[in-house]
Structure 1
């Protein structure tokens, strides 16, 4: 079971091997969903401007990149044109930070405050994606509790629930004082 502790060195995240594998797979899927960054030859994109920025048809991408102006399509499109590339880049960077911290086989990692914030953003993005695919509402716990374990959605509900617990652990660790570590033993006097 995942565990997050604040120490003087940073935030220690301890995951089971299965949790590490799940988190890696989810971050890789998020990166695939976000797509590749524009190439260096795209002049507008190099200035952070999306040439054809439209609300995505995919409900998950529409949730990750919602319209800024719901009642004004033109203003929403213009806002999206100037912000979407930067938002996508930030989401990619956060997902890559999680992948970079996981290592191949290690299940323990120590995060500094910046990495902790990246983890929180990436976990939130994955939870939004899963929640949209599962059509999770405020009453989702009732549905998940009554879900037949043979239901093909059961693993996705379990992953969503686990991500929620991990994210909650990270948030609580941010608020806590560091654990006191035992003092180093001093050598005996000569």
Structure 2
């Protein structure tokens, strides 16, 4: 899957994607949306003021992928300190999460939706790959979504450090992790080339 982003004149980026690549990215983005979940007021009456002051959860999510996507702000597992310091960190993290997690989830949902909408706008099944062209703002949304997808897959693969990926290059084809590893590495390549298009 050789698709790489290239800069467009005047800003933005383009990438050629075949039908399989489009299908993979769309499927992963939809799964990410399902994981993040609906917004806090999506099943409530339309009240912008209520949504503005809606509080989020104070406890970290139990799913390890969501923990990676929505990490604690103040807790440092490497240096927990005294029990009192650890309790203070938990309290600060809970307070921070209560007022920021809803917005963080909303941003991740918007990024994933931007990916899906831009892929849906491509002309279906022509000769050769389709060329996706993104504005600078769409490029930033794609970058956020690609990062979230890699974090999610990396969490499922239990990757804690980029150095952990070295062994994945040598996985045998029959290893059940192989498709997920290939997606992780491919998305990393896409992410890296997209970053380069956004640099001045």
Q: Residue in 2 aligned with 1:128?
A: 151
Q: Residue in 2 aligned with 1:68?
A: 73
The TM-score, its normalising length taken from structure 2, stands at: 0.81
Q: Residue in 2 aligned with 1:2?
A: 3
CA distance in 1, matches of 2:56, 2:188: 36
**Between 84-93 and 45-54, the greater mean CA deviation after superposition:** 45-54
**Between 57-66 and 103-112, the greater mean CA deviation after superposition:** 103-112
What displacement does 1:139 show?
2.9
1:108-187 to 2 correspondence within 5 Å? Answer: 108-136=131-159, 137-175=161-199
Change (3 A) 1:77 1:142: same
SS at match of 2:73: coil
- Whether the aligned pair in 1 keeps the contact of 2:56 and 2:101 (CA below 8 Å) is no
SS at match of 1:14: strand
CA distance in 2, matches of 1:63, 1:86: 16
For the pair shown, which has the larger CA radius of gyration, 1 or 2? Answer: 1
Q: Deviations over 1:128-179 (max 9, x none)?
A: 0000110113332332123121111100000000000000110112237xxx
1:17-36 to 2 correspondence within 5 Å? Answer: 17-36=19-38
CA distance in 1, matches of 2:116, 2:134: 12
SS at match of 1:3: coil
Pairs aligned (count): 176
Q: Residue in 1 aligned with 2:111?
A: 94
The TM-score, its normalising length taken from structure 1, stands at: 0.85
Change (3 A) 1:11 1:87: same
**Between 103-112 and 82-91, the greater mean CA deviation after superposition:** 103-112
The CA RMSD over aligned residues, in Å, is: 2.0
- Whether the aligned pair in 2 keeps the contact of 1:60 and 1:133 (CA below 8 Å) is yes
